[in-house]
Structure 1
């Protein structure tokens, strides 16, 4: 039942949806599907014969309750897990821009680039001009707050990606404003390097609109 709910949620990527469907069809011949609630997954007595199901039941309750995690103490036991907030932030910025970019732009995420056919890397976000098919922006999301300014490695990475994609706009995206924000031309090049903020602490729609306005106001064609 939980796999059925996950498969219909629309929250999974295409690859993950395929995995969920395969697991669901595999279990169809082994178990009868019937509805369950999250509460059905608690107050179960475990012993050495069925203790392997305890973590699985916790996962089922998590999805069946259809709620996110919080920092507050709840009434149920739950196994610990980590959330890759850097990936979550990147995917959020991507999804917001995909829905709000002007019609003449399109955005792609995790685009592969090769350095001399030896090293392959992936760019967080690439924004294209639909009419010219040229790269308008390279965006590198950073879910961290530097002490004062971006690290050298972050700067070098953004410049390298922008150079490889023949773009002129390298953007480092942070969840909070930097003490020393960047907005400068890279020496001996036409690349403008900027740090912009997509805050998660304010109204997300307003934060997104401020970010988008700042992004488009400084575009170099």
Structure 2
């Protein structure tokens, strides 16, 4: 469904991603974990061409984009297949909840406005925010804003949704409601790639956990394998540090 081959990216001559390969099956939930500054968010942004990779092939559902020879129409076609949920919600401050969800349907998918707004209201109901239809971002909690960000990704019925640390900007009391919504998507067999620092969530929801360090994939496996029997010393060190911190 998604195949990434030899993906590399450098900033100012410094390698951030070093030839990453990853395949994700349809309906699979893949969690990406690892130390800060190791390239996880850059990797996710490169998959969707929010960052331009230096090298690599990205194939999604029959479409392949080559970093070194692509055209803009290929990138736009790729983005139609992949939705992105940002750390900081990235809602339009001047649009209310239903308009934020409908915006991409109207501008990118060229849906009639009334149809797009009807779809937005349906999604708001689905994510438990039917009573917030006319509310603007400034009138909503962080958790509600992020749920609307996820609702916007759901609206386009993309082949996969990419989550870039979806709870990192939230106050602790709002984290649970966002994770519950992502869990609901996972139960529906929506393909998800999630960069996260929520280890308990990764363990519970992911089909596969990928550990990244220094711009490479060091190790991957089921949550059981990766958290209970990590093979690489770097993974072992990271997991033991997390466990210590949680029990400290």
TM-score band by shorter chain is under 0.3
Q: Which has the higher contact order (CA 8 A, sep 6+)?
A: 2
Flag the structure with higher helix content: 2
Flag the structure with higher strand content: 2
TM-score, length-normalised on structure 2?
0.25
Structure exhibiting the larger radius of gyration computed from Cα positions: 1
TM-score, length-normalised on structure 1?
0.28
